[in-house]
Amino acid sequence: MPGGVNSPVRSFAAVEEEPLFIDSGKGAVLVDVQGRRYTDFVLGYGPHILGHAPQAVVSAIRRQLAAGISYGSNTEAELLLAEKIVQMVPSIEMVRLVNSGTEATMSALRLARASTGRDLVVKFEGGYHGHSDSLLVAAGSGAATHGVPSSPGVPAATAADTVVLPYNGIAEVADLFMRLGDRIAAVIVEPVAGNMGVVAPDPEFLPQLRRLTSLHGSVLIFDEVMTGFRLAQGGAQELYGCRPDLTCLGKVIGGGLPVGAYGGRKELMSLMSPSGPVYQAGTMSGNPLVMAAGLATLEQLSSQPPYDYLEKTGSAMEDGARAVLRQRGIGSAVNRVGSMISLFFGVDSVRNYSEAAMASRSMFARFHQQLRQLGVLWPPSQMESAFLCVAHGAGEVDQVLSALASYEPAV
């Protein structure tokens, strides 16, 4: 396997460690193949809001497994999960289930371009929306830049239709719309950034994106693959009171199995084949095992909402981390929204990618190494969010705070 992994985020090269190989997980604990136990704050990069192997999800998968794995036809579970998504996310009137977040964002952009007859797409510096060609582009510094490929194999002509702006840079967005508003098909944004570390939107950022896209007839797409059903039952759009035209989902809605979805206003979604002319398909879309896991997860989240508990736990970690780092005189920024949290070392604040990139990677690597030695697993990249789940409590928070209390920035 290239680099010894099947996804680059699983490599520990950035923190100069060997990658982990996991044998099992339960609740907030992972056990590796050598029998070492870790309190886990990676949580599969987001889907395990109920912790690893929750009984309701495992039981649902077992029931479906006994009935069959894949049929190449429709199942009742697809309908039930779609109904649940529509019920919980007010901006979604119709939804299409796919196999990954990349499929969801790629398809949402195709739909936006088809519905507007335009080509340009706006994304934000540090925002990751999957690895489709038109979104895998390098960011500009400050002012708007037409995208250039950030990976060999991405055609320059494809990347040229993507414009990159600073996250939270609403003045730059307004200027771009004033100049090119009639050419912009869509704006795609993580309503809470999670792929440059956690960065919250400024108070006016999302409302102004909504105003500008509506004014110019562009489609506003929220990439809630990470935040959907994690920050609130209705995702970040519920938390911030801002409704997009299309929403991309993933992670939580599969209960830990591979999944993606995109949905929104009925008039837009009705353009998708076979109702309309915009084509997208997938042999494994709506897989029965995934639907069973996802439905069990969303039913648990709606019947026993964990969000107040997760906010309380996250607040304790945030406040505790700030206090310890301040007391020890270690320059840092602790960014958190709900059950998503990031620690940046060597900077005072982070509200966009440029500021995130100024954080000390070497200090973070040392932090990660020391946490792992103490039996705590944190994402091995400064640019990834850590996550909390319902299985985390005061004891797990204290493990992280104790590690910070003994943290040595240099060897």
The mean-pLDDT minimum among 6-15, 16-25, 204-213, 397-406 falls in 6-15
pLDDT of residue 229: 98
Catalytic residues, by residue number, are 128, 223, 251
pLDDT digits over 74-120, tens only? 999 999 999 999 999 999 999 999 999 999 999 999 999 999 999 99
For residue 40, give the 3-state DSSP assignment: strand
pLDDT band at 150 (very low <50, low <70, confident <90, very high): low
Read off the pTM: 0.94
Q: Are 232 and 381 in contact (CB under 8 A)?
A: no
268-277: per-residue pLDDT in tens?
Answer: 999 999 999 9
What is the arrangement of strands in the sheet containing 332-337, beginning at the earlier edge strand? 332-337, 340-345, 386-387
**Rounded Cα gap, residues 243 and 195, in angstroms:** 22
pLDDT at residue 146 tops 90 = no
Q: How would you class 93 by CB atoms within 10 Å of its CB: exposed for 0-12, middle for 13-18, buried for 19 or more?
A: middle
Record the tokens describing residue 165, joined without a space.
């702006």
Q: How far apart are CA 409 and CA 364, in angstroms?
A: 8
Rounded Cα distance, 15 and 371, in Å:
12
d(CA 291, CA 295): 6
Name the phi and psi angles at 337, rounded to 5: -135, 115
Q: Write the pLDDT tens digit of every residue in 157-172.
A: 777 889 999 999 999 9
Buried b (16+ CB within 10 A) or exposed e, 78-88: bebbbebbeeb
